[in-house]
């Protein structure tokens, strides 16, 4: 995962909604070997990776038992925002955590919502996404 050569994107607010520059927020995990300290931080960084189409990061932070072989992105899909609804566990000393979130996106001008409760595990290499239950995708 190479750091983007375009400093403009790194200095823009992070897509995860934290109101910090990408370089000091999710970019610190997507473009460096650093690992997310909590399940919520990993959730936010994975949303940002979807926003940026960073397949390598998404696959690296996916549990091996549920990880797909490859990822493809829909060029017509534009992510609009992320809202964290609830978190259970997922702190540094926890072995697992759950994050419920709502992500908004558009495809060809039509708005959609994805609400999911994601499950995360804390392995030796850090937090990884295991799976999730989708509540609403319309």
Predicted confidence band at 136 (pLDDT cuts at 50, 70, 90)?
A: low
Rounded CA separation 86/33 (Å): 27
65-105 pLDDT, tens per residue?
Answer: 999 999 999 999 999 999 999 999 999 899 999 999 999 99
Q: Give dist(CA 9, CA 2) in Å, integer.
A: 13
Is pLDDT above 60 for 3? no
Judge contact between 63 and 130, C-beta under 8 A: yes
Please answer whether residues 35 and 29 qualify as being in contact, where contact means their C-beta atoms are separated by less than 8 angstroms. Answer: yes
Domains along the chain with CATH numbers: 7-136 (3.10.450.50)
Q: What is the pLDDT of residues 122-133, one digit of tens each?
A: 999 999 999 999
Nearest to 52 by CA among 112, 1, 100, 125: 1
Express as a percent the part of the chain with pLDDT over 90.
Answer: 87
Q: Would the pLDDT of 2 be above 90?
A: no
């Amino acid at each position: 995962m190479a750091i983007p050569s375009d400093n403009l994107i790194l200095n823009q607010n992070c897509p995860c909604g934290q109101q910090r520059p990408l370089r000091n927020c999710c970019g610190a995990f997507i473009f460096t070997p650093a690992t997310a300290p909590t399940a919520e931080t990993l959730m936010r960084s994975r949303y940002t990776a979807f926003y940026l189409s960073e397949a390598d990061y998404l696959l690296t932070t996916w549990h091996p038992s549920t990880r797909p072989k490859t990822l493809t992105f829909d060029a017509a899909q534009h992510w609009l925002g992320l809202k964290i609804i609830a978190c259970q566990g997922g702190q540094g000393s926890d072995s697992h955590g759950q994050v419920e979130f709502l992500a908004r996106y558009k495809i060809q001008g039509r708005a959609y919502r994805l609400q999911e409760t994601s499950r995360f595990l804390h392995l030796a290499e850090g937090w990884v996404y295991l799976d999730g239950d989708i509540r609403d995708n319309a």
